[in-house]
Amino acid sequence: MSNLSRFLKENKLEKKNVKYAPTDSFTDEKGNPIEWEIRRISTEENDKIRDRNMKDVEVEGQIGVYRQELDISGYTSEFLATSVVFPNLNDVGLQDSYGVKKASDLIKKLLDIPGDYQKFTVFVQSLNNLDEKADITKAKN
């Protein structure tokens, strides 16, 4: 059997979801931060998120000429929200309690301390192998 058989779908390792407590704002009955369940997203999901967050920006000094630009804030919040399995950010009751209608808006309400949001962003990026520094180090070695 050729080495290519190792690349067949049935031989691909499954990536399990992980637990992570992104904030101490939500605690259990003992006062411990509640862990969230986080999943990796696929390349296809990431592409769709990126495409939904592209916007046309007029080129300065050129009337009627536009270029595509990524709305980083929108992309990041949607990327994070898509990665969260628990709590269910699409739950209408949860969204209503914060006065929002989208999971990507809810994530910002749940992680309303900038440091918590930033740490969670770094965690989810790393979980999805989007840590550029780690990749550069691996490539050099």
Give strand pairing partners of 56.
68
The answer to the question of residue 96 being in a domain is yes
Give pLDDT tens digits for 121-140. Answer: 999 999 999 876 544 444 44
Q: What is the CATH number of the domain that holds 80?
A: 3.30.2220.30
Q: Distance (Å, rounded) from C-alpha 73 to C-alpha 117?
A: 11
Range of the domain at 71: 13-122
**Number of folded domains that form the chain:** 1
76 is a domain residue: yes
Model confidence over 55-113: pLDDT tens digits? 988 888 888 888 889 999 999 999 999 999 999 999 999 999 999 999 999 999 999 99
d(CA 76, CA 33): 23
